[in-house]
Amino acid sequence: MVGSVAYDSVETPEGTNRHQLGGSATYFSLAAGYFTHVGVVAVVGKDFAARDLHLLKEHGVDVTGLEAGNGDTFRWTGKYTDDMNTAITIETRLNVFEHFRPSLPGSHRGAPYLFLANISPDLQHSVLDQMSPRPRLVACDSMNLWIDIAKPRLLALIENVDVLMINEAEARQLTGVRSLVGASEWLLKRGLKALVVKRGEYGAVVFHRDFTFAAPAYPLAKVVDPTGAGDSFAGGFMGYIAAVDDTGTEAMRRAAVAGSVMASFTVEDFGVGRLKSLTAAEINARFSAFVELTRFHPLGGGQGLPLVRRVA
Amino acid sequence: MVGSVAYDSVETPEGTNRHQLGGSATYFSLAAGYFTHVGVVAVVGKDFAARDLHLLKEHGVDVTGLEAGNGDTFRWTGKYTDDMNTAITIETRLNVFEHFRPSLPGSHRGAPYLFLANISPDLQHSVLDQMSPRPRLVACDSMNLWIDIAKPRLLALIENVDVLMINEAEARQLTGVRSLVGASEWLLKRGLKALVVKRGEYGAVVFHRDFTFAAPAYPLAKVVDPTGAGDSFAGGFMGYIAAVDDTGTEAMRRAAVAGSVMASFTVEDFGVGRLKSLTAAEINARFSAFVELTRFHPLGGGQGLPLVRRVA
């Protein structure tokens, strides 16, 4: 995966936390790391704490591709008000991230699965170009900024990836189509295999060529910090697919649930507080809770709903 | 069921439609009418069209309790902008509805299932008091207006009903609790069996004493008019439960899907355009589509997710 490592300062209705370890690469690789071996390509500054590097390594994350830049680590300051689905950016300091030109270690170029987190489409192209052979599945994220200033490059990228994971507003902005069904049709025509629409506390919907699957978010008594939920979702999604080495439709449905499971943990604490210390029992219990949350008896063979006889 | 019959004038991004048949009683009884025998208690004006009365009768709706008031039928004018989840009221003319005091025909007082649509808590109390014996399941709706001006009466009602169906903002306003999990706990402690939170295009969540169930909304290429979706949901929900005469937890999960099915049809056209002309094949096909939309393979007996060995 390629993405960002950051120190975030976050204010939510549940409190404030300064200089917490964050960034798409952090959330993604910790989440995916529960399922598979993850190699992270990103840049950190001279101020990057040894304990944070240790945390990634301890979680089995391969940091060979983690560059040390000349300057400070990327910093993001933001807040959430009552609408926990939308972050309000107060300050962004790109720092070492500004001149980041990802270069993949040889050992990463043959990785079977690739996630391009939210960075400029040019860098996403460059990473994809360094892969050989092409990975079995490539997924990418993006944001309103790139749709505003680099839409042609982003659309060109989308023609070469399998799965695009964005939020509702981004799907509408990118396609100019109001309904998500319409937006997904627009994107699938351009060669995408699946559009995954992330909807925060409303879950995620996978619009795949061959099926549509809606995964709810896990209803939590308290959402502490939504930062990183989308990248944790992507980590669970890609981690599951890599672990079973299966990109089929059944695997992709389960992957969306695995993604929702990981995102549900992330939002329970500030930063990676919860994500960094999960046990197999906790992860499996949450997966089972998703089964209980969504299951209902389908109708038996040939049997319909109990409709009145009058209905044709 | 007790509720309103109205003529609505509606503007949505898909167009404008004036004086369409609407009101909670109309949507609920047409939706529930596909599953069971529905008796409607409401009031219409002298201007109520014979064809609209015919429409209800033709759908098997028992109109014995449909009073003819001295004046015009209730009128609502509203619009939806890009946020199709929220109606903006332009004008409300209560007309005959203003002095509506529901009186149940003797034949309705023993009905096994009761839905109290969004009317004043005093009227809801009065209808419930007229029932004998108490129905097996009573569900009710409400709105911000009643929470503002009649909260104690509404809370007293909630202590005597089984299922409350409201939207997210109403659940928060009523309980003062931000999270839906917390709001549901607050309400379940007051004797409610289940809180059903309606979330428009994001579906509905049933917070029951014994389980939580999330039903997505059906992803549609075009939402034409969201008016009546909540009442159609309630109609499908209560209609299904009445048809199977089962208030158990498995029935309630399926009921929520039946509700989502009926709501998904309603929003496909203005007013009751779609709801009034459904076939059994269409309803069953949509139910099957919900199965496909939500299903994923749970983990086999004792088998967990494919987690890395490192995880405890």
**A83 band by pLDDT with thresholds 50, 70 and 90:** confident
Q: Burial of B18 by CB count in 10 Å (0-12 exposed, 13-18 middle, 19+ buried)?
A: exposed
Q: What is the mean pLDDT of chain A?
A: 96
Q: pLDDT-based confidence at A295, cuts 50/70/90?
A: very high
**ipTM score:** 0.95
What pLDDT score does A5 carry? 98
- Relative to beta strand A61-62, strand A66-68 is unpaired
User: Searching chain A, which residue's CA lies closest to the CA of residue B301?
Assistant: A288
The number of residues making up chain B comes to 312
Is the full-model pTM beyond 0.90? yes
- Smallest Cβ distance to A211: which of B181, B250, B292? B292
| Whole-number pLDDT of residue A303 | 80
The 10s digit of each residue's pLDDT in B209-243 is 999 999 999 999 999 999 999 999 999 999 999 99
Per residue in A92-102, pLDDT (tens digit) is 999 999 999 99
- Cβ of B305 within 8 Å of Cβ of A312? The answer is no
Which residues fall within 8 angstroms of residue A176, CB to CB, at 6 or more apart? A186
Quick count: other Cβ atoms within 10 Å of Cβ A100? 20
Task: Judge whether residue A301 has pLDDT over 80.
Answer: no
- pLDDT tens digit string along A200-247? 999 999 999 999 999 999 999 999 999 999 999 999 999 999 999 999
Task: Residue A216: list chain B partners with CB under 8 A.
Answer: 203, 205, 214, 216
State whether residue B181 sits within 8 Å of chain A by CB: yes
Separation CA B112–CA B32 (nearest Å): 14
- For residue B30, pLDDT beyond 90: yes
CATH class of B6-294: alpha beta
> Could A35 and B306 be called an inter-chain contact, meaning their C-beta atoms sit closer than 8 Å?
yes
Whether A238 and A115 have beta carbons less than 8 Å apart is answered as yes
Has residue B302 got a pLDDT over 70?
A: no
Compare CB distances from B202 to A199, A244, A311 and report the shortest one's residue.
A199
With contact defined as beta carbons under 8 Å apart, do B25 and B4 qualify? Answer: yes
Contact B124, B141 (CB under 8 A): no
Task: Tell me: cis bond preceding A216? Omega within 30 of 0 counts.
Answer: no
Whether residue A219 and residue B181 make contact (CB cut-off 8 A), yes or no, is: yes
pLDDT at A176 over 70: yes
Q: What burial class does residue A99 get, using C-beta atoms within 10 Å of its C-beta: 0-12 exposed, 13-18 middle, 19+ buried?
A: exposed
pLDDT of residue A185: 98
